[in-house]
Amino acid sequence: MRISLPLLSTAVGLGLTAAVLTGPAATAAAPQEPVRGAQLGYEPSAGSGEDAAANRAFFEAVIKSVAEKRAANPTSAAAVTVYYSATNAPSFRSQIASSAQIWNSSVSNVRLAESSSGADFAYYEGNDPRGSYASTNGHGSGYIFLDYQQNQQYNSTRVTAHETGHVLGLPDHYSGPCSELMSGGGPGPSCTNPYPNSAERSRVNQLWANGFKAALDKALEKASQR
């Protein structure tokens, strides 16, 4: 079941992804007991100190789900579509829609679309002292948790677009300026910019052109062996 991407070798090497990669490609499952070290928050305090590895685990869960579906239903479309479910985050419907629109207008190799079933990842909402974060549920599925209080303190569209940036493969960079989306809560609550900068856009395009191709090749290879 495991898809190894060259760019993900560090996370695999650390053994952090072993558990999240072997589960079934269950989608939009409810968050379960958080996997330690597999979360990326909006603020530094919410991070585990293993952000790069955690980000890769999360990105790998999403990319694997997309690649397996694409292998099963080949398409000639150049851009890869990642489907999300917003059913369990009803208070954030407009922020989630804005975030998808922001990303879709910023990058060309991947696009986000809402789906009522079989989503590649899901948004959830609630109260959590760790704030908002992207994580994996221990069964190979990625999800984004949006915390009520943090979304009142900070610009909610920026929080949502930031967490969605993790879906697309970007790590946190809290020391960055407000013009950087992945600096998250680093520049403080007055920062309301919900757009990725040019470096972030290029990075996502790159990840979905090269990293995704490797995942797709692997999924196709596996499908042909069945």
Shortest separation between residue 41's beta carbon and Zn ion, angstroms: 6
Among 204, 122, 137, 211, CA closest to 168: 204
Binding site for Zn ion (CB under 5 A): 40, 172, 184
Query: Residues 27, 65: contact at Cβ < 8 Å?
Result: yes
Residue showing tokens 């898809």: 3
Shortest separation between residue 172's beta carbon and Zn ion, angstroms: 4
Q: Which is nearer to Zn ion, 151 or 218 (CB)?
A: 151
Q: Which is nearer to Zn ion, 169 or 184 (CB)?
A: 184
CA distances from 126 to 94, 111, 116, 123, 151 (A): 16, 26, 21, 10, 10
Q: Which is nearer to Zn ion, 71 or 197 (CB)?
A: 197
Q: Which is nearer to Zn ion, 128 or 172 (CB)?
A: 172
Catalytic residue among 43, 125, 163, 200: 163
Shortest separation between residue 163's beta carbon and Zn ion, angstroms: 6
**Cβ within 8 Å of residue 179, ≥6 positions away:** 193, 197
Q: Alpha helix (H) ranges present in 24-183?
A: 51-72, 93-106, 148-153, 156-167
Question: CA 33, CA 137: separation in Å to the nearest integer?
Answer: 7
Shortest separation between residue 66's beta carbon and Zn ion, angstroms: 20
| 163 has catalytic annotation | yes
What strands lie across the sheet with 110-114, from one edge to the other?
Answer: 39-41, 133-136, 142-147, 121-126, 80-88, 110-114
Shortest separation between residue 187's beta carbon and Zn ion, angstroms: 13
Q: Which is nearer to Zn ion, 154 or 219 (CB)?
A: 154
Residue showing tokens 């490609």: 25
Positions annotated as catalytic residues are 163
